[in-house]
């Protein structure tokens, strides 16, 4: 079976390996000069490969059952086995995030490169695929290589060309019009796992501070999404998993009524209540109580914002002031301007709806012999290894199925 795979990112490399291991004659096209460029920057260069908590309900896509079928066929343990096969042992953090034992994305890409070579995958780097045309018994794939437009015919084609996130690393979405021409629906691409642009007002002075918070997205009185995790104050707004995980909802509601509510106490509410009750009428300075939970810069900010002195004790603070302070810690409202663009997001939403591909094989339901993987489909997982898991899973299943599909 002659199979073309377009894109040597996480999903394309997994597809190429599995297809070659199952006996396919594989040609892998990659527009960059080297393979796995995006993989190199994942997890801040450490490559957060997957997560113990991977389940279908964690992903945003048109059909959660679709994702459940895909993950049942190729989930966390299948990925760990595949990585072990190419000599990438993994380690797990206390909270269930998986990384290569080497803690280096570079070694993951090197291992894939070596395995692809050993599996006799024909690799065409610095080669941009420009069109795919359905023929009677396969597909004519046009590509630019060595500044020359060329064409080759394949029995099956796997599209692993990514979405539009981080275009400098290769994925720019140019193949979506080609897929539309072949009969697919293409939903507008939107930034996801993106930082939020917010006018921080008085919170600007917290630039550089990292906190663990609960973050709720509101459209008027309607709750759109919630996420909990790390948050970073920046000159232009907020970054970090707590806001990135809800950012795809912001890009679907591009209006100005969206608000973010931060709960600064989310991760230690009980401990906070207990200590406050214990010390409420004591001479303990309020700053010491707050300092049990927040860094000094945040404590100084909170006291100043509540018009309280640095030395004020808990017994000196009146009930109304204290309630107001605690109320603000539980629900700080910030108006959202928008999300940062594709250049700053980790994945993109939109593209081909998952309902147009078979979750067992990733074969298109519109075009026989065409397979769609990774970010080409409209799937967004949260931070924590979910997106690489899905990219590897969909690629591996497509690679295997493409060899046996007639």
Ligand X SMILES: Cc1cc2nc3c(=O)[nH]c(=O)nc-3n(C[C@H](O)[C@H](O)[C@H](O)COP(=O)(O)OP(=O)(O)OC[C@H]3O[C@@H](n4cnc5c(N)ncnc54)[C@H](O)[C@@H]3O)c2cc1C
Site for ligand X (CB under 6 A): which residue of 347, 352, 357, 403?
347
Please report whether residue 139 would count as binding ligand X according to CB under 6 A: no
Query: Beta partners for 263?
Result: 214
CA 360 – CA 167 distance, rounded (Å):
29
Site for ligand X (CB under 6 A): which residue of 386, 396, 397, 402?
386
Please report whether residue 123 would count as binding ligand X according to CB under 6 A: no
Structure tokens at 318: 């009146």
Site for ligand X (CB under 6 A): which residue of 48, 156, 234, 247?
48
C-beta nearest to ligand X: residue? 9
List all residues 6 or more positions away from 303 whose beta carbon is below 8 Å from its beta carbon.
286, 287, 290, 309, 310, 312
Q: How far is the CB of 183 from ligand X (least distance, A)?
A: 19
Select the span of 5-13, 72-80, 197-205, 298-306 touching ligand X (CB under 6 A). 5-13
Site for ligand X (CB under 6 A): which residue of 12, 138, 237, 351?
12
Spell out the SS3 assignment of 355-367.
HHECCCCCEECCC
Give the dihedral sign, CA 54/60/64/69. negative
Nearer to ligand X, 193 or 289 (CB): 193
Is there a contact between 176 and 161 (Cβ–Cβ < 8 Å)? no
Nearer to ligand X, 8 or 215 (CB): 8
Site for ligand X (CB under 6 A): which residue of 24, 43, 100, 353?
43
Nearer to ligand X, 35 or 206 (CB): 35
Nearer to ligand X, 272 or 390 (CB): 390
Residues 146-175 that bind ligand X (CB under 6 A): 160-162, 165-166, 170-171, 174-175
Site for ligand X (CB under 6 A): which residue of 5, 17, 24, 31?
31
Give the dihedral sign, CA 124/401/375/135. positive
Taking phi over 0 as left and psi of -120 to 50 as alpha, with beta for the rest, 10 belongs to alpha
Please report whether residue 128 would count as binding ligand X according to CB under 6 A: yes
Site for ligand X (CB under 6 A): which residue of 364, 387, 393, 402?
387
Is there a contact between 337 and 345 (Cβ–Cβ < 8 Å)? no
Nearer to ligand X, 329 or 391 (CB): 391
Is there a contact between 82 and 19 (Cβ–Cβ < 8 Å)? no
CA 71 – CA 365 distance, rounded (Å):
19
Q: How far is the CB of 7 from ligand X (least distance, A)?
A: 3
Site for ligand X (CB under 6 A): which residue of 5, 9, 243, 265?
9
The DSSP symbol for 285 reads B
Scored b (16 or more CB within 10 A) or e, 106-131 reads eebbbbbbebbeebebebbeebbbeb
How far apart, in Å, do the first and last CA atoms of the chain sit? 9
Q: How far is the CB of 347 from ligand X (least distance, A)?
A: 5
Nearer to ligand X, 75 or 291 (CB): 75
Please report whether residue 370 would count as binding ligand X according to CB under 6 A: no
**Residues lying near ligand X in the complex (CB under 6 A):** 6-12, 29-32, 37-38, 41-43, 48, 128-129, 160-162, 165-166, 170-171, 174-175, 346-347, 374-375, 385-388, 391
């Amino acid at each position: 079976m002659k199979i073309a795979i377009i894109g040597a990112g996480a999903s394309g490399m997994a597809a190429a390996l599995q297809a070659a291991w199952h006996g396919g004659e594989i040609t892998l096209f990659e527009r960059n000069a080297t393979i796995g460029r995006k993989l190199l920057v994942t997890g801040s260069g450490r490559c957060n490969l997957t997560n113990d908590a991977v389940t279908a309900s964690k992903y945003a896509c048109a059909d959660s059952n679709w994702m459940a079928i895909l993950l049942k066929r190729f989930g966390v343990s299948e990925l760990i086995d595949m990585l072990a096969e190419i000599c990438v042992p993994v380690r797990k953090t206390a909270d269930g995030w998986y990384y290569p034992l080497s803690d280096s994305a570079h070694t993951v890409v090197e291992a894939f490169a070596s395995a692809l070579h050993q599996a006799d995958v024909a690799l065409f780097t610095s080669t941009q695929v420009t069109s795919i045309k359905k023929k009677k018994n396969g597909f004519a794939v046009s590509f630019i290589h060595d500044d020359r437009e060329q064409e080759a015919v394949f029995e099956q084609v796997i599209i692993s060309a990514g979405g539009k996130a981080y275009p400098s690393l290769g994925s720019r979405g140019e193949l979506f019009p080609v897929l539309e021409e072949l009969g697919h629906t293409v939903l507008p691409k939107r930034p996801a796992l993106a930082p939020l642009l917010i006018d921080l007002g008085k919170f600007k002075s917290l630039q550089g501070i990292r906190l663990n918070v609960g973050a709720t997205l509101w459209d008027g009185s309607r709750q759109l999404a919630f996420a909990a995790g790390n948050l970073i104050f920046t000159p232009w707004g907020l970054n970090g998993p707590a806001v990135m995980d809800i950012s795809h909802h912001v890009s679907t509601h591009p209006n100005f009524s969206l608000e973010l509510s931060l709960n600064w106490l989310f991760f230690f509410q009980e401990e906070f209540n207990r200590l406050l009750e214990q010390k409420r009428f004591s001479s303990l300075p309020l700053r010491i109580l707050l300092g049990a939970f927040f860094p000094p810069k945040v404590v100084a900010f909170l006291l100043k914002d509540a018009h309280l002195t640095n030395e004020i004790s808990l017994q000196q603070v009146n009930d109304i002031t204290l309630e107001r302070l605690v109320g603000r810690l539980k629900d700080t409202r910030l108006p959202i301007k928008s999300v940062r663009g594709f250049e700053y997001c980790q994945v993109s939403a939109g593209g081909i709806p998952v309902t147009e591909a078979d979750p067992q094989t990733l074969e298109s339901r519109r075009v026989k012999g065409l397979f769609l993987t990774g970010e080409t489909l409209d799937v967004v997982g949260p931070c924590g290894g979910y997106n690489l898991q899905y990219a590897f899973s969909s690629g591996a299943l497509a690679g295997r199925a493409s060899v046996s599909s007639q």
